[in-house]
Structure 1
Amino acid sequence: MQSGLPQKQGAFSEVVLAEEKRTQRLVAIKCIPKKALEGKENNIENEIAVLHRIKHSNIVSLEDIFESTSHLYLIMQLVSGGELFDRIVEKGFYTERDASQLIHQILDAVKYLHDMGIVHRDLKPENLLYYSMDEDSKIMISDFGLSKIEGAGSVMSTACGTPGYVAPEVLAQKPYSKAVDCWSIGVISYILLCGYPPFYDENDAKLFEQILKAEYEFDSPYWDDISDSAKDFICHMMEKEPLKRYTCEQALQHPWICGDTALNKNIHESVSAQIKKNFAKSKWKVSHQPAEILILEVKYAFLFYV
């Protein structure tokens, strides 16, 4: 087994690479200490309930759940192609059309979620991973820790998500809907085309003020070579009023997504320079020696690479 495989630390959990000994199949295991779940049981139950309901080619799947006296283990589909921004920076050629194809995949997956009554609520580049290292690898949506299943007559009002990607209605503490995901996709689209976020301030209060106003610019020179169609798409996705904002279904019908208006000009140099300037590199830990961990009362034995 090669070294240098990823291990990712979250706020309450750790994701490690593991090998199923019986089949040599590689999986990602989200290891959650039960102590960290105290008072947050509903959160993990919600995440598991969501993951059990979904099966889509662009969404990381839950394959099994194991439990020990001290930990809960979520056995997840392994995606090994790396984070979205890292791959863009590594490319030598990157165009609007590449960005359009990425957003098309994300929209297709999020439309599937919305049709299932599920709102992700934390769409951001860090949760978008490439399935493999192949040049034409598909993109995968991960991390459903903040997702929500819409119930009949239920209203979502909990302020959650990552500040730079959160819709104005969430910050305004108004009841909100699945339209918050479409806003986030708009923000991601904006970044994919210029390498920097539409809203930014070191001070969170000032950042929130910018988002609440929904005022952003297509600054020169970074947007000079970007098509009007791309800008129009973003304006529809980042519409301040949720009822006027594009749904995923509408977005999938926009010419920039389904037509041929996305330009094929190389924008890699400008976009990658801005990504490196504005976004910290992903903080994956490097794995070293394999250590076998026994999980009681489970069907499989795993080698964990920690």
Structure 2
Amino acid sequence: SSNSLSTVWKAEHLSSGDVVAVKQVYVEKLNKHLKSCLDCELNSLSSVNHPNIIRLFDAFPAENCIFLVVEFYAGGNLSSYIRLHGRVPEQTARKFLQQLGAGLEILNSHHIIHRDLKPENILLFGLDDDVMLKIADFGLSCTLHPGHYAEKVCGSPIYMAPEVDMWSVGAILFELLNGYPPFSGRNNVQLVRNINSCKHLPFSQLIVPALHPDCVDMCLKLLSANPVDRLSFNEFYHHRFLRRNSAILRAPFQIP
């Protein structure tokens, strides 16, 4: 496949025999922002190697371009999965979040925040019960050490706590459970206004009776508009909902 900025080929890695994707990026066509995104992607992916993060095998420059050799995937992304399947069972959502948490744990250990977690940037490998999630698209990621703040997110001069990724995880969990995102708006300004004015998350009443309180508790705390009240990564990773290994007990739950 190709566009004006890059071309992607399916290929075979000579040393390992693995099927890979080779992406040729035309560097001379990139503006300053896109070059910065490419640098972020290379810096982040070259730092980590984990089953739940898209793997960068190699990167090498050529005349006016750079070649990236990454894992090949044909399973689509989480966004297309939700469009196809609609809302997923709670146990499936938990399985997906456990994998997402495992990938974020390695990023957290390297002080990397993704800053653009969304279903479109989570790739799927395998089929049915063997589906594996891989975090991709690190173009807006950055390294952030404890006690510091990210000064820009998506080019906006705003301050975000390091737990910005946790908000995104909450939105992903909500969409998995309901089949639609928690917030909407005609544009970014209206979207932010709707988020700030939201008093109750719009859970589907069809699923509320079947949700375990631990599941809803995690979703509500991840989507807290106040970063102080939002779950930290450690609180998320050790939350009862993700640590529950046996079959989830069903209990009626009322959304506060």
Bin of the TM-score, shorter chain as denominator length: 0.7 to 0.9
Equivalents in 1 of 2:87, 2:43: separation in Å?
40
Provide Cα deviations, 1:38-91, integer angstroms capped at 9, x if missing partner: 424333222211111111110011111122213211111223332224345656
Give the secondary structure class of the aligned counterpart of 2:20. strand
Q: Distance in 2 between matches of 1:246 and 1:153?
A: 17
One-letter code of the match for 1:37? L
Q: Which of 101, 112, 127 lines up with 1:107 in the alignment?
A: 101
Which structure has more relative contact order (CA 8 Å, sep 6+)? It is 1
Residue equivalent to 2:113: 119
Q: Which residue pairs with 2:25 in the alignment?
A: 32
Are positions 1:128 and 2:113 aligned together?
no
TM-score by length of 1: 0.71
Shift of 1:221: 3.0
Greater mean deviation of Cα atoms: 142-151 or 83-92? 83-92
Does 2:40 correspond to 1:46?
yes
Other structure's SS at 1:35 match: helix
TM-superposition CA deviations, 1:196-250 (whole Å, max 9, x none)? 1110122432212012345432242353433332211101111122122112221
Looking at structure 1, the residues matched to 103 and 31 of structure 2 have their Cα atoms a distance apart, in angstroms, of 32
Give the match's secondary structure for 2:161: coil
Q: Equivalent residue for 1:237?
A: 222
**In the alignment, what sits opposite 1:193?**
177
Calculate the TM-score normalised by the size of structure 2: 0.84
Query: For each residue in 1:111-144, what CA deviation from the matched residue of structure 2 results, as whole angstroms up to 9, or x when unmatched?
Result: 2211211000000001111222363132111111
Structure 1 runs (4+) deviating above 6 angstroms are none
Greater Cα shift, 85-94 or 251-260: 85-94
Q: Hey, what's the Cα distance between the residues in 1 that align with 2:18 and 2:58?
A: 14
Q: Write the distance in 1 (CA, Å) between the matches of 2:51 and 2:217.
A: 28
Would you say the 8 A contact 1:100–1:262 is kept in 2?
no
**How has the CA–CA distance of structure 1 residues 111 and 25 changed in structure 2, closer, same or farther, with 3 Å as cutoff?**
closer
1:244–1:119 CA distance, 2 compared to 1 (3 A) = same
Show the 5 A alignment for 1:58-73: 58-73=52-67
SS of 1:200's equivalent in the other structure is coil
Aligned residue in 2 for 1:16 = 9
Q: In the aligned structure 1, how far is the partner of 2:16 from the partner of 2:100?
A: 31
Percent identity, aligned pairs only? 28
Amino acid at match of 1:18: A
Q: Structure 1's 92 and 152: CA in aligned 2 closer, same or farther, altered over 3 A?
A: closer
Query: Cα–Cα, structure 1 residues 156 and 137, in superposed 2: closer, same or farther, change >3 Å?
Result: same
Provide the C-alpha distance between the structure 1 equivalents of 2:101 and 2:146, rounded to a whole number of angstroms: 24
Q: Which residue of structure 1 aligns with residue 208 of structure 2?
A: 223
**Structure 2 residue runs without a partner (length 5+):** 251-256
Equivalent residue, structure 2, for 1:206: 190
Structure 1: runs of 5 or more not aligned: 1-6, 162-169, 265-306
